[in-house]
Amino acid sequence: MTQLAGFIEEGFSTVRDAVVETMDRLSVDFRPVLTQAVARYARRQIKLVETLLRRLLVLLAAELGPLAPVKPSTPDVPTGTGAAAGESKRSLFQLVPSLSAEGPGFDDLRAGAHPAAGPDTDAAPLLHRLGLLLQHLDNPVPLARRMARILNRVKDAGDPRPFMMPLQGLARVPHPVALLAQALPVRGNEVLRRWFDTS
């Protein structure tokens, strides 16, 4: 196992633990309606987990190596501007964030467009989304291959190399998750630099 492979494996384990911890907090009272504070916490955690998952998928895509040619299918890059743009109807996970009007590529691989936190405090939709994330974390290879195809399309189009920005607001995040969030931009930008190197 390479050093990068070990980091990726530990990263997926850390993110999975964060999802399980969030699910436990939501379901501790078995109430269908959450307090606004808990609902806000869950949405923050989901946004963070999705960002970390995308970044881990970039690393895993590089670790899997070159892809065999595949038949054209539904584009992975979102074309709409709504919250559901670019999401698979099956998985409801937006693999690539909505592209900004300022430039092409991955929009710095930031978290995708999500509805603003509102008064909705139903537990079921949040638990459902967390459950889908667990499914992806248990079998990330298909998403990693999709990510590889997206990166190859961005490269072939001559678009600028994506860049992972450091995450902010990690003061209240559990220590293992914060360490992962801080390490991912370093590892990820090195992987992207090699991926887009044309020399």
CB atoms within 10 A of CB 185: 17
Contact 111, 50 (CB under 8 A): yes
Range list of H helices, the chain? 3-27, 36-64, 123-138, 141-156, 175-195
Tokens of 132: 């889908």
Instruction: Please enumerate in sequence order all residues whose Cβ is within 8 A of that of 132, keeping only pairs 6 or more positions apart, or say none.
Output: 91, 92, 93
Burial 169-180 (b: 16+ CB within 10 A, else e): ebeebeeebbeb
157: pLDDT strictly greater than 80: yes
- The pTM of this model reads 0.77
Contact 172, 37 (CB under 8 A): no
Query: In which band, very low, low, confident or very high, does the pLDDT at 104 lie, cut at 50, 70 and 90?
Result: very low
Q: Which of 82-91, 115-124, 159-168 has the lowest mean pLDDT?
A: 82-91
